[in-house]
Amino acid sequence: MAYTVLARRYRSKDFDELVGQEAIVRTLRTAIAQNRVAHAYLFTGTRGVGKTSSARLFAKELNAVGADGKVQEDVAEAILKGQDTDTIEIDAASNNSVDEARTLIANAAYRPLRGRRKVYIIDEVHMLSTAAFNALLKTMEEPPEHVVFILCTTETHKVPATIQSRCQRFDFKNIPTSTIAKHLGEIVKQEGGGLKAEPELLHMVARLGNGSMRDALSVMDRLMAAGEKSLTVKLLQDLLGLPDRELVHRLVKAVADGQAGEAIVAGDELLKRGSSPEQLLGVLADRFRDLMIVCACGADTDLVEASGEHRAETAELAARFDAAGLTHLIAVCDSAGRSVRTASSPRAVLDAAIVRMAMSEKLADVAALVGGQVRAVATRVGSPAAIGAMGGGGAVAGKK
Ligand SMILES: Nc1ncnc2c1ncn2[C@@H]1O[C@H](COP(=O)(O)OP(=O)(O)O)[C@@H](O)[C@H]1O
Ligand SMILES: [Mg+2]
């Protein structure tokens, strides 16, 4: 049997299943309950955050509820599948529908066949042809009582202002990583068949989704294509060629220990396994960022995606740094990351950056030493102002 992608199999069947867009769901439901449904809505936001799903769900709540207040399941199903006669879906991104789109919109005046409303869902509306836009504008100027337009787009600035001004606009937010991870976990459970996923893996996949549920789901599709029953961090690392987590940890620990040699060896191992210097510096910067956030916000912070043992490991490591020092390490990764792109020897730049990071404690000692000596001189000279002006000596310190 052909494999259907997760994003299609797990399209929300009810507003309650749509995650991360609670405020929008509440407003849409209230509009229906109070009988204040507008004639035109504009749903904007990045891809895969629930715009099309919400448009269909809105159509469902408008048209699939019978006079008795109950949902008519067959109608609801047709609407959600995009097969209902009163819910007209137009995908402006597919060219062959250009003429058809204009005709469909021009037909808005005809009454719905069985529902109360004729709902037009126009996906990627910014790509409509000029002729179709004109038809749309004409209908929107004097909308027939029964018509509701739901215009979806990822690029609002390309929608003519004349259209925008006639719409009630909803900005769909990027979905928080933790919310995506939780949703992925539920999908794995529903898949059944003994399928399991490491919590850490779900967080990593969610993070790769970058706010888009659909993007996260397509990473899951790729993982599941491997045919393994247990989805692990290792599997993802292999799939995407991500640096091995254990090795990155070893490198960061060596930096904390001030062991430049050990840090270089770990870096070398990571390169041998296929990471590029640039990728490695990016991963290190992310890792130091996590440690810095834990230093500043505490080990339980939501701002760091880690679960279980990895959270404990992060907290333990963070205790060996301080937030100010970590900002320095991140800056080192960042500047080295930029220069590896143009360097004649990216490898040398990477190794130098690793040594600088591992040595930052020594650098701090030098700074403290210099600061201390100047302080001593100032004391001898007996100038309290000079002593005050010295401030802390160890500002370069990367570590405690
Ligand atoms: N907020 C969400 N909650 C749950 N699943 C979602 C959400 N947003 C997107 N998805 C998943 O991604 C798929 C594509 O979503 P879609 O509504 O078409 O996104 P958009 O129109 O914003 O690009 C859905 O079928 C669903 O599986
Ligand atoms: Mg869509």
314-337 exposure pattern, b = at least 16 Cβ within 10 A, e = fewer: bbebbebbbebbbebbbebbeebb
Tokens for 344, please give them: 């004649």
Q: State the pLDDT confidence band at 382, using cuts at 50, 70 and 90.
A: low
35 in Cβ contact with 143 (< 8 Å): no
At 97 the pLDDT is: 56
Task: Compute the distance from residue 6 Cα to the ligand 2 centre, in Å.
Answer: 15
51 close to ligand 1 (CB < 6 Angstrom): yes
Task: For the chain, give the percent of residues with pLDDT over 70.
Answer: 88
CATH code at 6-171: 3.40.50.300
- Helices 260-272 and 277-297 pack at an angle, to 10 degrees, of 130
Closest C-alpha residue for ligand 1 atom 5: 18
Would you state the pLDDT for residue 391?
47
- How confident is residue 396, by pLDDT bands cut at 50, 70 and 90? very low
194, with CB counted inside 10 A (0-12, 13-18, 19+), is exposed
Q: Is 158 in the pocket of ligand 1 (CB under 6 A)?
A: no
Asked if domains 177-240 and 245-361 share a fold, the reply is: no
Ligand 1 atom at shortest distance from the alpha carbon of 8:
25
CA distance 293 to 306: 12
Of the two residues 254 and 370, the one the predictor is more confident about is 254
Tell me if 11 CB under 6 Å of ligand 1.
yes
26 or 390, which is more confident:
26
Q: Which ligand has the shortest distance to the CA of 80?
A: 1
* Choice from 13, 17, 213, 220 to test ligand 1 binding pocket (greatest atom count within 8 A of CB): 213
* Residues with a beta carbon under 5 angstroms from ion ligand 2: 52
Yes or no: domain 245-361 corresponds to CATH 1.20.272.10: yes
* Ligand 1: nearest atom to the Cα of 20: 1
pLDDT of 184 reads 97
190: Cα separation from own chain's centroid: 23
Measured from the Cβ of residue 308, the count of other Cβ atoms closer than 10 Å reads 10
Reported pTM? 0.76
Partner residues linked to 90 by β-bridges: 122
Average pLDDT, the chain: 88
pLDDT of residue 388: 52
Q: Where are the beta strands (DSSP E) in 35-106?
A: 40-44, 87-91
The pLDDT value recorded for residue 361 is: 66
pLDDT in tens, 297-335: 998 887 887 767 778 889 999 999 999 999 999 999 999
Per CATH, domain 177-240 is 1.10.8.60: yes
CA 391-397-400 angle, to 5 degrees, is: 105
Ligand 1, pocket-test mutation among 6, 12, 28, 205, most atoms within 8 A of CB:
12
pLDDT at 103 over 60: yes
Q: Where are the domains of the chain?
A: 6-171, 177-240, 245-361
How many CA atoms within 13 Å lie on the side-chain side of 348?
4
Calculate mean pLDDT across residues 94-103: 71
